[in-house]
Structure 1
Amino acid sequence: MSGLILNKLCIHGGRQLHGSVSVSGSKNAALPILSACLLSSAEKHISNVPNLKDVETLMSLLKAMGVKISQTGASTYCVSAKKLSSCTAPYNLVKKMRASILVLGPLLARFGSAIVSFPGGCAIGNRSVDMHLT
């Protein structure tokens, strides 16, 4: 037997759990996934992408670099970096968002070099980019 006790779900018995749970899209998952699309010229289909300003900003950055992005559903996108034309991320877009540093690794892997300025975004405090460089 199952019962809800305060903030805990207690499950008693040897019965198998079944069912489904809808999970909303996550900015912290979508941004690295979109950035990883730079690694290959193959077309990628990404679903459950949240409708957030940071996601929109990163998509603008990718498009400015020659990536084709088209919305195919409410939260689904088709991404093609086949015509990725530059290993340089435009400063005017990089400065808008901290997560724009995520394009550095894929650009370096694909082109052998990359030019990405220090990212902008919110001023939470000192946040190093070192983990993206090693």
Structure 2
Amino acid sequence: MLNNNMFTFHHVGLACKNLKKEMLTHEMLNYEIEGEIFEDTNQQIRGVFMINGAFRVELLEALSEDSPINNYLKKGIRMYHQCFTTPNLENAIDYLVQQGAMLIVQPIEAVAFEHRKISFLYLRSQMLIELIEQ
């Protein structure tokens, strides 16, 4: 059963070839940097969060050729996931899997979120979502 507080929007993830150039573009659009640039070797990414009002984006570039970011860029996909926080990661995963979602990335610690666990799921609507434990 869905709890109305199970999913709270956090950000949209954008794949980029050059993080610095992408940051400048977003600053031109009145986005402000939120926090520090981070690197996560588990996910093979370097990124930063930027905000414009209540809207937050996560700009991500690949750290290596093995990074999943490269797959999106090769296909011309830039905006590739929505992210939500959830009070209970395992319950949220179980709920979404029961609704037909496919678990893509098992829960792992993420540098960008103070080592809280994240997970990725592919919904039946073909949307990739990230979940962050609160």
Where on the TM-score scale, by shorter chain, does this alignment land: which range? under 0.3
Look at both structures and tell me which one has the larger radius of gyration over its CA atoms: 1
TM-score relative to the length of structure 2: 0.25
Query: Comparing both structures, which one devotes a greater share of its residues to helix?
Result: 1
TM-score by length of 1: 0.25
Larger RCO (CA within 8 A; separation ≥ 6): 2
